[in-house]
Structures are given as C-alpha cells and as structure tokens.
Chains A and B, each alone.
Chain A
C-alpha cells in the first residue's frame, strides 16, 4: 500500500486483510476504510454506524451499512458471518467492552482492533511532570469532554489477551508519522492488533 491519501492506520488494516474476504467494520464512520478495502482488496464490505450523516456517505460510496449502535447492531449478525471484524479506534469509548470483544469473536473469525496507547511517552510526561490529564494525537480530548472511558496501554492489552486466551497474530505500532518498532508501549501513540480466540481448553 503506497497510496498517500490513505490514512496510516487504514493502510495497516488494508495490508492485514486477505483479498475477497467478508469484512464488518464496527463504527465505520463515513465508510472511508471499507471503501478503500473494497477497492484494493475486493472485499465484501459491511458497516455498522450510529451517525446519520455518515450513513448517507456510506450509501453514496456503494457500501452496505446498518444505522444502529454497535452493541445492538452486532447482536443481529449470525455466528461466523465474517472473516474479519474491525474495531478501529472505538473500544476506548464502549461501556461494555468485554461483551463487545466476545461478540466480535462470535461473528468474525478474526478481529482487528486498533486503539490509542495511554502509556505513550507524551501521555506519561503530561501526567507525571505536568500533573495534567494527557492530551496526545491519539487522545486529543480534554479531561472534561473526552468520550474515552477505558484508558489502556498496549501492554495492558497484551496482558488482557493472555488472561482471556486470545491469540495476537500480528501487532503494529504507530507513531505520529511512522511505524514504531522500538519500545512501542513508550513510543507508539496507538496500536493495531490482529487477534483470534484460542480454542477453549476444557
């Protein structure tokens, strides 16, 4: 993926997904990611989105989109309906995050999850030295108007996956301008993980 008009996180997700897959994007916004996925990877695309204006944008792009909140929308899909379910920059705002992640595993074979890193160095600096709630490029909100309710780090997520018997297949770490390879939990503003549920051990 060399197209400069595609956002860096979208580029990573597009690279992860296999051609011709069935993909559900939860909180698909104006459908930009799905639209690019459909163009580049010929996927069968579908989105769930709450904002009405975004629904018009999605339909205009020729996408199938379900105007509903993510949790209720996801419930309506049958088991194993998709190859991938995308949760990009959304779990930090979802009240019932665990339920949602479990539901994505019911509906999709693999899940792509992207979220801001609360342990990014600038966030640490804001909190430790300035004594202020962090404001970073991936956590752009002030403490009083932030929709975020879960403040996890990349390391937190990895621990969570071990606890919940979730396998991380691929992991990508993004800086403000580049991919981060060195100490991502300190230097990455956000992470994107391709995960799947390990078979439950009885």
Chain B
C-alpha cells in the first residue's frame, strides 16, 4: 500500500505531470442578457466549469482550447487530491507533452448541458427554485460553442492558437471554425465528421430510449429521488460497444469467463459482460441521465455538411487544420474525417490528414497517444512559430 501511495505520488509529481489542479467557474448571461439558443429559447444565467493549465503569455496568443467528448468534462489533465486517475487527456496535456503547458495556455470547459459543474438539466432553475429537468431547453453543438466563446472572451483571448478535441469535441472544433473563424488559428478535429450519420443517431436514440424506458426517469423529474440508474447504465453499455472494435474486444476479452466455467444462468459469465456492467454501473455514479439525453440530442443535430460555413472564411483567415482518424473506428469511420478534408481541400484550406492504424476503435483517440503526440506536437509548434514570427 505504501508503495502504491509512493507510486501515485511520483505520477502526480513527475516532471511531465501538472500535479494538482482545480476547477474554476464562470457565470454569464445574467437576465436580461440571456444566452439566445439556436432554437430561439433564452437561457440564463449560465455557468461553465473550466480548468486551465500553463500560463497565458503577455500577448495572449498561446491559448489552446480543448473540447471534450460526450462523457468528458473540464478536468482534462492533472490530478484532484485523493483521485486514482488524472484528467481524461492527461497523457496529452502537460509539461513537454503534445499540448505542452510549458509553451501553451490550455483551457478546457465542461459543455453547456453537462453535469460536471456547467449549467445543465440537473442545475437549479432560478425561476422555479428546483432543478430544470426537462424544462431545460434543447441545446445544440452551436450553443455549446457560443457558451465557450463567452469563456474565451472572459479570459481576454482574442485569437486561439488552436482548438482541439475528439468525437463530440471534434464537432466543437468544426463549429468553432464555422462560427468564429477570426478567433481560430488552427483546428484539430479528431475522430469526427461533418455531420452525425443515421447510424450514429440510431445508437444515440437507443441510448436515450434505454434511459426514458426506466421507470425511475419520471419524465426527467427524478432529482431528489432515485435516478434512472438502470437506463443510464444500459445506455453507457451500448455506447461502450460502439467505442471498441471487433478486434480490440477479441484481444481484451476473447471468450474469457469470469469464474472459469459456465453458470448455466443469465448471470454474466463472460468477461466482456462483466466489463460492460462495470462500465455502466461506474458511469451512473458520475453522470446525469438527463444530461446524457440533452447532449446526445445536440450531437444528433450536428450537421455542417451542407453549409459553406466551415470553409467560407478559413482560407482568408489562414486557418490550418490537422484532421486525425483511426482505421478501426467504425462509429466515426475514417471516411467521415476524409469528408472534412475533402471539403477543406475543395475550399483551398490548408489541411493535413492522418489515418492512424489503430485497432482500438473509436476509443483510440484516448489511447494512441504516441501517434497523436507526434502529430499534434509538431503541428502546433509550427503554428506557434508563425505566430512568434508575426509579432
């Protein structure tokens, strides 16, 4: 045990670790200056939970905004006291890492609609004195990005050195370029596409139905009583299947049995079953079912495929793209990332693309750190060198 503590201490205080970090909060859109959502509905006040790592330089031109995926949060890197795991992209963010905190100022915020400190359906509705539940308005990827822009403005940053994220975070990246091209120097969408495809919408809908079929869901009005744990766990189990690949599941579980023999019952016999149950049960401890509904719906609404917004100003603003996909990702397959690149090339926008030969499926964006580091590190250095030359 002592060794374990010693080991954790070393990890937390190693030369490439950020050590302990803390979440900060920013509240804006106080009525009557509401945040006007894409649906036309007004929302306010809005709070975003966020973390920052590294130091914003005097010119304020070294800021990189990191965007998280469906179940992520503002805690992208570093440690909370007493935690066994660091932030969700800790192996990419820190001193000397891909997002090098010795050089860059890294920002990550929990999305609007989330449940990790930002305003979402589990937050208190000030008008009614109780949690929003289903009275929370429908939100979109654009709304989430609008909220992030308030935060970036608040931090005094006029132009971000980069915006980067995987999966839903990749959609935020694209939306940032489409909505605020003059505020972005470079964009790194990872394992994402121009639109949410019918297959992706279908998986999200099954997840939502799992939650809404749980009797404890009570039309979203479950705060203060039992929450729809079964439904949310089931949604997460389905999600996890789509994040892995046939070969990564074979490698990780094969047909291994939990207790060495068949139980001849409906108890989970196979390790893969145990894993999914564990992941589902673990998820309900840290995630709100209504947030899952709202965020997946926002993802489903995402579609920049027909619009010219992504390329309209990108060339003029000289925005550089690094698009990354993973060979075995069948949830956000490489052809969808190629779709982004094709659109950019057609608009004469500078874009690099790499399809990483990984067997880990969609999860690869959190696993293939060596490859992602090589790409991101050199790509960002190049952009930053140009910024310094321009000064």
Using CB atoms and an 8 Å cutoff, list the residues of chain A in contact with chain B. 46, 52, 55-56, 58-60, 62-68, 76-78, 81
Contacts and interface: CB of A to CB of B under 8 A. Distances in A.
A62 B382 contact: yes
A66 B341 contact: yes
Contacts of A67: 353-355
A46 B349 CA distance: 11
Interface of B: 320, 322, 338, 341-342, 345-348, 350-357, 371, 374-375, 378-379, 381-382, 385
Contact of A66 (B348, B352, B357, B378): B352
Contacts of B382: 62
Contacts of A56: 354, 371, 374-375
A59 B354 contact: yes
B357 A52 contact: yes
Contacts of A77: 345-346
A63 B338 CA distance: 18
Contacts of B356: 52
B352 A59 contact: yes
Contact of A52 (B320, B341, B345, B354): B354
A46 B351 CA distance: 9
Contacts of B341: 66, 76
B378 A55 contact: no
Report the 4 A-B pairs with minimum CB-CB distance, sorted nearest first. A62-B382, A76-B345, A60-B378, A76-B342
Contacts of A63: 352
Contacts of B354: 52, 55-56, 59, 65, 67
Contacts of A64: 320, 350-352
B371 A66 contact: no
A52 B345 CA distance: 20
A31 B363 CA distance: 30
B374 A60 contact: yes
Given A52-B355, A55-B354, A59-B354, A81 B374 contact: no
A85 to B, nearest CB: 14
B374 A66 contact: no
Contacts of B348: 78, 81
Nearest to B374: A56
B378 A59 contact: yes
Contacts of A62: 378, 381-382, 385
Contacts of A58: 352
Given A56-B371, A56-B374, A59-B379, A66 B346 contact: no
